[in-house]
A and B are shown apart, each in its own frame.
Chain A
Amino acid sequence: MTDMKHTAFFPLSRRAALKGLGAGASLLAMPWIVRAQTSDVIKIGFPMPLTGPFAAEAKDQVKSAQLAVQQINDKGGVVGRKVELLVRDDKLNAGEAATRALELIENDKVNAIVGALSSAIQLATNEVTRARGMLYISISQSDSINEVKDFSKYTFHEALNPTMTTAAVAKHTFKMGARVAYLCADYAYGHEMLRGFKRAGDAIGAVTVGEILHPIGAPDYSTFIPRISAMSPDILCICNFGRDQANSIKQAVDFGLKDRMKIVVPVILHNQRLAVGPDVFEGVIGGSNYYWGMEDTVPSAKVFNDAFRATHGGATPTDYGAYGYTGVMSLLLAMQAAGGTVTDKMVASLEGLKYDVAKGPQYYRKCDHQSVQSVLVLESKKKAEMKSDLDFFKILATEPASESVLRSCAELGLPT
């Protein structure tokens, strides 16, 4: 190899060229040798939308997932086998996601897949993994992945789902008789959040005054605002994700809507708050799976934050980042308990797993594989109230882990 390094960039004699070619050929052959030697490595596929409007959240998920893998490897791996995370870009496109999942299964021979950040894309990934009996842990919001139509006995949903998220947010923001208008992204996420909020709103006695669906990835929301104004709601629920959340809240504030109504979102995003600043987000309320400030009251959050800071140059983990950690960690713990990577054994140990790795106690409900966990309700702080650059949110409430906020498995169409 050193030979090749030295000769490749200089005019070659015939002999040197032949030598170089030989070295090149062996270099090309090497991956096969490596693969043959280390078939013992446990491979976890991690497809994520690394490019596109959800890129910031996706990158945080990768960082946290890598931390989980690194921690396990530092302790000697899973039953003596090293773990490798194979990160792929699904470009937030269902076709790409299905192809990436197939490649991971067929070519890379992964033992399990974790990932896909989008309620629509995870269903595309789920279709591939379900058909091939591949273990899949989804780490972004979805209701339908647990419903009988999309259910796979090999699929676990580690993220919050829209039903539990909107129930918690509505409980702390909606009131009897409050007028609520909705601006929601026109795809699975927006539809499911809308359904969740209306279900919770009906129970509280709030009144829906209008629903507007906007195209996903829209950069300009000015044309939706006259209609929202005309509905004169008390609460505006903006149900979209990633940069759409930043752009729509910013423009709603620009148009003065925040002075006339309360802005509520299902999931308030760390990265988008970072991207538009404190003034725009001030007073906006939303749910969350994780906030670094939990470390004051939750010991496992403190441990996770410290480990993340140590490996990422002092950076703080984000909400969606934490899913990367809790999702991969739950899988690794289950693998350890199962004593290896036999899919049925991993499924059985995930079903019985109780874990607390970052946000307090969690477990997978056996009948639908939904992770039962706490939901935070956060309010974005005023700039003057922030104690540090990352002191974004005030924790208004922590809804404890409970199956009572989930739809029952009978309601989902599943045997209980």
Chain B
Amino acid sequence: MDFSLIAMQLFSGIALGAILVMAALGLSIIFGMLGVVNFSHGAMFMVGAYAGLWVASLTGSFWWGLFVAPIAIGMFGMAVEFLLIRPLYGRSVDDPLLLTFGLGYVLVEAVRIVFGSDGIPFPTPSQLRGVVNLGIGYFPIYRLFVVGVVGAILLALWLLLGKTKFGLIVRAGARDPQIMRVLGVDIGKVWLLVFGLGVGLTALGGVLAAPMRTVNPEMGSLVLAEAFVVTVIGGMGSLVGSVVAGLLVGIAVSMTALIAPEMAQIVMFALMALVLLIRPQGLFGKSGVQA
């Protein structure tokens, strides 16, 4: 095994990690800020891909799909929060979990009825087709673009949550919503926006993934599992944790693919089990935090 192969494998792992981070972000944000485990996460990812496909086919441009679909699905997410999840706040954590679990099924079946169960082609945008020689091997331009977008999104999120007044309110609200209400903050509105943001990011992940995979009604089911693995390893609700865990899982999968490819899928679950045994709250989770 020569150096360039290992380097290429490492690079593939990091790129895959970025895709996994993108897939997990929405789940992590919604759980971290609202304490809601969104089981319809995978379905939202899939709906995002279909929405992107639909907008792209109407306008003839991938870029409109990439831009419009996440906003539209984010607004749909806000409607879900307002109409379905809001009445369940203050009840057991299982209630929103069960509700979103059911919602996921509804979304998948709805897409099946409208678009059929066959996969639909989603060609790579013409500007981003082809490969680039990295010196250690060839890599698709589109995947590099996705890594760039994920980097930009993370930077924007860090600025939004860490450097703005809105971010301060969101973070404070996550720790003690009661105090925020006493201070006169309309915490309901903040939750609405955060849920919309989380779902919008999930949909964006779906649109970004679409040109790398076929678009089909079941494309979200594995994403839900992957997002959970990443979120659990990183620590439920920790953004930094999700990023580190996503990259870690990507690299682990890639390196396993080199040595024992048939284990490439199972390794992420093994990693999760290991983390849960050694550090149950996850790498960056705070111990004793109640969901």
Chain A bound to chain B: yes
Taking beta carbons and an 8 Å cutoff, which residues of A are in contact with B?
A: 51-53, 55-56, 59, 186, 212-215, 217-220, 222-227, 229-230, 243, 246-247, 250-251, 254-256, 271-272, 274-277, 279-280
Known A215-B265, A230-B5; judge A250-B214 contact (CB<8 A): yes
In whole Å, how far is B96's beta carbon from the nearest beta carbon of chain A? 25
Q: Please name 18 further chain A to chain B contacts, defined as beta carbons within 8 Å, in addition to the given A254-B131, A255-B139, sorted by A numbering.
A: A55-B117, A186-B262, A212-B261, A215-B265, A220-B213, A222-B12, A223-B258, A226-B5, A226-B8, A227-B5, A227-B9, A250-B212, A251-B212, A254-B124, A254-B142, A256-B131, A256-B140, A276-B121
Is B222 on the interface with A (CB-CB < 8 A)? yes
Q: Which of A223, A250, A255 has the most CB of B within 10 A?
A: A223
CB < 8 Å neighbour of A213 from B2, B13, B131, B261: B261
Are A254 and B118 in contact (CB-based, < 8 A)? no
Is B78 on the interface with A (CB-CB < 8 A)? no
Known A213-B262, A223-B253; judge A275-B140 contact (CB<8 A): no
Q: Which of A213, A250, A280 has the most CB of B within 10 A?
A: A250
In whole Å, how far is B7's beta carbon from the nearest beta carbon of chain A? 9
Distance of A246 Cα from B211 Cα, bound (Å):
12
CB < 8 Å neighbour of A256 from B120, B124, B130: B130
Is B102 on the interface with A (CB-CB < 8 A)? no
Are B264 and A243 in contact (CB-based, < 8 A)? no
Are A276 and B16 in contact (CB-based, < 8 A)? no
Known A218-B264, A250-B214; judge A224-B257 contact (CB<8 A): yes
Distance of A279 Cα from B254 Cα, bound (Å):
28
Contacts of B5 in A (CB 8 A): 226-227, 230
Are A214 and B264 in contact (CB-based, < 8 A)? yes
Known A224-B257, A275-B216; judge A243-B119 contact (CB<8 A): yes
Are B214 and A246 in contact (CB-based, < 8 A)? yes
* 1/0 contact string of B207-233 vs chain A (CB within 8 Å): 000001110101100110000000000
In whole Å, how far is B110's beta carbon from the nearest beta carbon of chain A? 15
Is B188 on the interface with A (CB-CB < 8 A)? no
Contacts of A220 in B (CB 8 A): 16, 19, 212-213
A-B contact pairs, 23 of them (CB 8 A): A51-B218, A52-B218, A213-B261, A214-B264, A215-B266, A219-B213, A220-B16, A220-B213, A222-B254, A223-B9, A223-B258, A224-B264, A227-B5, A227-B258, A229-B137, A243-B119, A246-B214, A247-B213, A250-B213, A255-B131, A272-B214, A274-B121, A276-B214
Q: How many A-B residue pairs have CB under 8 A?
A: 112
Contacts of B16 in A (CB 8 A): 220, 222-223
Contacts of A186 in B (CB 8 A): 262
In whole Å, how far is B251's beta carbon from the nearest beta carbon of chain A? 10
Distance of A215 Cα from B257 Cα, bound (Å):
10
Are A56 and B121 in contact (CB-based, < 8 A)? no
Contacts of A217 in B (CB 8 A): 222, 265
Are B254 and A56 in contact (CB-based, < 8 A)? no
Contacts of B218 in A (CB 8 A): 51-53, 55
Known A243-B214, A256-B131; judge A223-B119 contact (CB<8 A): no
Is B60 on the interface with A (CB-CB < 8 A)? no
In whole Å, how far is A28's beta carbon from the nearest beta carbon of chain B? 27
Contacts of A226 in B (CB 8 A): 5, 8-9, 12, 137, 258
Is B15 on the interface with A (CB-CB < 8 A)? yes
Among residues of A, the one whose C-beta sits closest to the C-beta of B256 is A223
Is B125 on the interface with A (CB-CB < 8 A)? no
Are B119 and A276 in contact (CB-based, < 8 A)? yes
Contacts of B151 in A (CB 8 A): none
Among residues of B, the one whose C-beta sits closest to the C-beta of A220 is B16
| Interface residue tally for chain B (C-beta within 8 Å) | 42
Q: Which of B19, B120, B213 has the most CB of A within 10 A?
A: B213
Are A275 and B119 in contact (CB-based, < 8 A)? yes
Contacts of B9 in A (CB 8 A): 223, 226-227
Known A219-B219, A279-B123; judge A56-B139 contact (CB<8 A): no
CB < 8 Å neighbour of B216 from A243, A251, A254, A277: A243
Known A219-B219, A223-B254, A255-B139; judge A275-B261 contact (CB<8 A): no
Are A223 and B142 in contact (CB-based, < 8 A)? no
Is B143 on the interface with A (CB-CB < 8 A)? yes
Contacts of B138 in A (CB 8 A): 229, 255-256
Contacts of A275 in B (CB 8 A): 118-121, 214, 216
Contacts of A246 in B (CB 8 A): 119, 214
In whole Å, how far is B107's beta carbon from the nearest beta carbon of chain A? 15
In whole Å, how far is A294's beta carbon from the nearest beta carbon of chain B? 22
In whole Å, how far is A210's beta carbon from the nearest beta carbon of chain B? 10
Are B131 and A222 in contact (CB-based, < 8 A)? no
Contacts of A277 in B (CB 8 A): 121, 123
Among residues of B, the one whose C-beta sits closest to the C-beta of A229 is B137
Distance of A186 Cα from B262 Cα, bound (Å):
6
CB < 8 Å neighbour of B119 from A56, A214, A229: A56
Are B212 and A254 in contact (CB-based, < 8 A)? yes
Contacts of B15 in A (CB 8 A): 222
Contacts of A251 in B (CB 8 A): 212
In whole Å, how far is A379's beta carbon from the nearest beta carbon of chain B? 19
Contacts of A223 in B (CB 8 A): 9, 12-13, 16, 253-254, 257-258, 264
Contacts of B131 in A (CB 8 A): 254-256
Distance of A212 Cα from B264 Cα, bound (Å):
11
* 1/0 contact string of B246-286 vs chain A (CB within 8 Å): 00000001100110011111100000000000000000000
Contacts of A215 in B (CB 8 A): 262-266
In whole Å, how far is B28's beta carbon from the nearest beta carbon of chain A? 20
Distance of A223 Cα from B139 Cα, bound (Å):
11
Distance of A277 Cα from B119 Cα, bound (Å):
10
Contacts of A55 in B (CB 8 A): 117, 218
Distance of A218 Cα from B265 Cα, bound (Å):
7
Among residues of B, the one whose C-beta sits closest to the C-beta of A251 is B212
Distance of A348 Cα from B126 Cα, bound (Å):
59
Contacts of A255 in B (CB 8 A): 131, 138-140
In whole Å, how far is A186's beta carbon from the nearest beta carbon of chain B? 4
